[in-house]
Structure 1
């Protein structure tokens, strides 16, 4: 229990994030900030002594982290925070001298329902974006050379040093000879991941203790599993399949909790959780439709459906859950406004990347680095390029920022932003490729953007995923091989 309340306190304190939480608690009365954190510490210690169930306190930690992330923006691309041991130590040693702490306790938000997030988060986000303009050059995506203090906080390592992955930590081959279109680490977890396969199953794998092993095999789909997603708390996985169904799985025992047929009776090709309300999942199908589904009732949400120009292959929400982007097999990306109260979708914008070229992956990121506040979208399309867009307004309008040359003409390749926000100059994205390699690109470099290139697969690399602290990278290929790469330790 003591460790858990220290984690809660670490989330509240964040003493190093001067650009984030600390400046926004009673800015005119800094003395109240210290009083607040002291009182929080006292209450948390008292509650720990009272003997509350650890699972309840951990759930509180997740929910409070989510509320703070919504108000001030996420610390990483994942929906919840990480309370690393160094953050805990930092919060404990600076209680007597800290002056800058984060915002007042959200008494109503403490009930734990994600829907109670402040509706003012967008206005605050916009304000912070304007402030951040002072820290970067016009149009730049990353910190300027003047950001000496920020780079020092990151350890003054270069992007190439930070992403020097080389050695193989482990190879999983349980899906051999059947393509693995997606691999994904669990939220805020270093050693738990899952991968789906054309063989109709999903494997849940644990990397520690050694040797790594498959701890659950989720069986039930009768055809290819096209996509899956972890819930925020990692206790649920939702999956879609070409058998025309969505399934909800208990990750602890591998049980299928619910089987939900597609409302149109079509093949389901992609899915994503609503990041604020995990009771809602959006699915895309082969009849060009997206549907918002209530996983508790198994029913489609009224007003939560819309049509694209082609088969829906990829989707991503922004971190606030207000904008949904969906890509189809005819080269279009649509943005939708999501109503948090009703689950209704409203079609907003459409961009044609290249007519007739499938959009196989969409990944949204609020900020690429802590000092680069432009929301961005990373897109794979079958045009032999990885595309980076800037989100220019609150309707999801996209402006092309950068392109990176890869090999992708026919396979459903996926890409990701690196999960940790960085104070370094430069920001990294990672993608698979049909040339059997994994590529790391620095989005700021005008030339020679490749930071690292991993070789080891014997087929097109389809999926990539980082764990929460970027110490491990997973990649999957068209022959069913999943490789776990380990970052070199300096």
Structure 2
């Protein structure tokens, strides 16, 4: 039951940035209240079956309200059952009614039956859509979409230039990753090869380092925020995984790697933050329970090389892992047990090493294909965009961009907001000390912006939730926070 409620909260959290965009404090209060309601209802001992049906229903209604941000499942297959459930008030749980009252108080109340009718109409239009499937953005023109976006171009939308702030608390030591907290505009963290992590606040007030997390006895290669931002998990070359409370800097737990090997990457399971996946320097992949410190049964696998990068799809059912031999392996993930089942394997070849993987269900509202973005270092280094072609995580190459990356673990990301504009943007670091913005729909002159300011290879990049700020980190410990130009 706890796993189902965590999935419900995860669905809500993914849509949280779109609720009351002018009142970020309400979004925080909303998620806390939802978490409280789910915990209280879980104690009542409801059966898991109705809760899972409720989860599917809620995900579809939120997709209808805010747009399908992350769900990859087909809406057509469940349209008739969804309408039937929506028209049956007995199928709605008490906490869903609480949610309806909360939305109503903010002026967003909607009739369930009316919402289901609109959703079915939308799905029927999609079912008869005859747009060609060949491209990531199948429409040749999107006048209404551009009007909704303010009729600005992709280049104008990503015109980052001004420096908001520079952090240098990790001077002379590489900062391989920087990441904003989930649904937070101003909370930022980074890890360093000096063995520490930093938690920074950009506003309100002047930007400042809130605390430095100390405890690792070796370089910190990777870290990840929990969905609720109340925990950080870090992977270090000292062979340990640590769980931190960023609010006060405490190390909550230290978990040794099952193989006793240096840990190179880590990621939270999106729907069950009690599970963390780690990759190590002895080709090992392990699913760890952070409450017990133990490996999940069936939650271990081996790759052909050192595991450098990990990424889940948004629903948390697919995991991709990349190694230093250029292989990308997909795994089916059992959310309830943490069991891994190996599915597909793709080899880049040419001596490549996969230093970064990120996934996105839709690149923009005009792009329907779930996609995976890969950074590969070595001879012929490049940024690769793949289409996910099946339910087992099979990949098909769509675009390739040259990037200066010979020896450094450069990372890349999708832009977080789905855009109504034509085109879709990705961002990457580079060993030439620049940050590049690529329009993945352009066959030539794909660079729409280039940020210059670092004095060393740029390793990590991260957007905040509303794309107003971009953070980048480099091999000499400098973190630059860039702000969007105001038109």
Same structural fold, with TM-score higher than 0.5 when normalized by the shorter chain: yes
Give 1:223 shift: 0.4
Give 1:356 shift: 2.8
Distance in 1 separating the partners of 2:387 and 2:360: 10
Q: For 1:226-265, what aligned pairs fall within 5 Å after superposition?
A: 226-265=221-260
2:175 pairs with one of 176, 180, 183 = 180
Distance in 2 separating the partners of 1:90 and 1:488: 35
Say if 1:77 and 1:419, in contact at 8 Å, map to a contact too. Answer: no
1:392 pairs with 2:406: no
Q: Name the structure 1 match of 2:301.
A: 306
Give 1:155 shift: 1.8
Say if 1:279 and 1:294, in contact at 8 Å, map to a contact too. Answer: yes
**Number of residues paired by the alignment?**
416
Q: Name the structure 2 match of 1:30.
A: none
Distance in 2 separating the partners of 1:215 and 1:62: 31
Residues 401/128 of structure 1: CA separation in 2 closer, same or farther (3 Å cut): farther
Say if 1:70 and 1:320, in contact at 8 Å, map to a contact too. Answer: no
1:371 pairs with 2:338: no
Q: Name the structure 2 match of 1:463.
A: 460
Q: Name the structure 2 match of 1:297.
A: 292
Give 1:147 shift: 2.6
1:484 pairs with 2:473: no
Deviations 1:415-434 (A, max 9, x none): 00000001110000000000
Distance in 1 separating the partners of 2:281 and 2:270: 24
Say if 1:379 and 1:387, in contact at 8 Å, map to a contact too. Answer: yes
Residues 198/71 of structure 1: CA separation in 2 closer, same or farther (3 Å cut): farther
Give 1:384 shift: 2.0
Q: Name the structure 2 match of 1:44.
A: none
Distance in 2 separating the partners of 1:329 and 1:150: 41
Q: Name the structure 2 match of 1:138.
A: 133
Q: Name the structure 2 match of 1:409.
A: 406
Say if 2:311 and 2:319, in contact at 8 Å, map to a contact too. Answer: yes
Say if 1:363 and 1:416, in contact at 8 Å, map to a contact too. Answer: yes
Give 1:131 shift: 2.3
Say if 2:230 and 2:247, in contact at 8 Å, map to a contact too. Answer: yes
Residues 213/341 of structure 1: CA separation in 2 closer, same or farther (3 Å cut): same
Give 1:237 shift: 0.2
Deviations 1:211-239 (A, max 9, x none): 20010111100100010000000000000
Q: For 1:128-277, what aligned pairs fall within 5 Å after superposition?
A: 131=126, 134=129, 136-142=131-137, 144-277=139-272
Distance in 2 separating the partners of 1:397 and 1:76: 21
Distance in 2 separating the partners of 1:438 and 1:100: 46
Give 1:146 shift: 3.5
Q: Name the structure 2 match of 1:329.
A: 324
Q: For 1:68-107, what aligned pairs fall within 5 Å after superposition?
A: 68-69=58-59, 76=69, 92=106, 95=109, 101=115
Residues 443/55 of structure 1: CA separation in 2 closer, same or farther (3 Å cut): closer
Distance in 2 separating the partners of 1:282 and 1:89: 35
Report the 3-state secondary structure (helix = DSSP H, G, I; strand = E; otherwise coil) of the residue aligned with 1:278: strand
Residues 411/296 of structure 1: CA separation in 2 closer, same or farther (3 Å cut): same
When the two structures are superposed, what TM-score results if normalisation uses the length of structure 2? 0.79
Report the 3-state secondary structure (helix = DSSP H, G, I; strand = E; otherwise coil) of the residue aligned with 1:134: coil
Q: For 1:102-121, what aligned pairs fall within 5 Å after superposition?
A: none
Q: Name the structure 2 match of 1:28.
A: none
Residues 56/461 of structure 1: CA separation in 2 closer, same or farther (3 Å cut): closer
Distance in 2 separating the partners of 1:426 and 1:381: 23
Q: Name the structure 2 match of 1:32.
A: none
Distance in 2 separating the partners of 1:155 and 1:135: 27
Distance in 2 separating the partners of 1:226 and 1:319: 23
Report the 3-state secondary structure (helix = DSSP H, G, I; strand = E; otherwise coil) of the residue aligned with 2:145: helix
Distance in 2 separating the partners of 1:224 and 1:163: 33
1:450 pairs with 2:447: yes
Q: Name the structure 1 match of 2:35.
A: 59
Give 1:205 shift: 0.3
Residues 179/447 of structure 1: CA separation in 2 closer, same or farther (3 Å cut): same
1:360 pairs with 2:355: yes
Report the 3-state secondary structure (helix = DSSP H, G, I; strand = E; otherwise coil) of the residue aligned with 1:279: strand
Give 1:369 shift: 0.8
Give 1:60 shift: 5.5
Report the 3-state secondary structure (helix = DSSP H, G, I; strand = E; otherwise coil) of the residue aligned with 1:333: strand
Residues 97/54 of structure 1: CA separation in 2 closer, same or farther (3 Å cut): closer
Distance in 2 separating the partners of 1:94 and 1:287: 52
Q: Give the CA RMSD over aligned residues.
A: 3.3
Deviations 1:258-313 (A, max 9, x none): 00000000000000000000000000001101000000101000100000000000
Residue ranges of structure 1 left out of the alignment (5+ in a row) = 1-7, 17-47, 79-87, 105-123
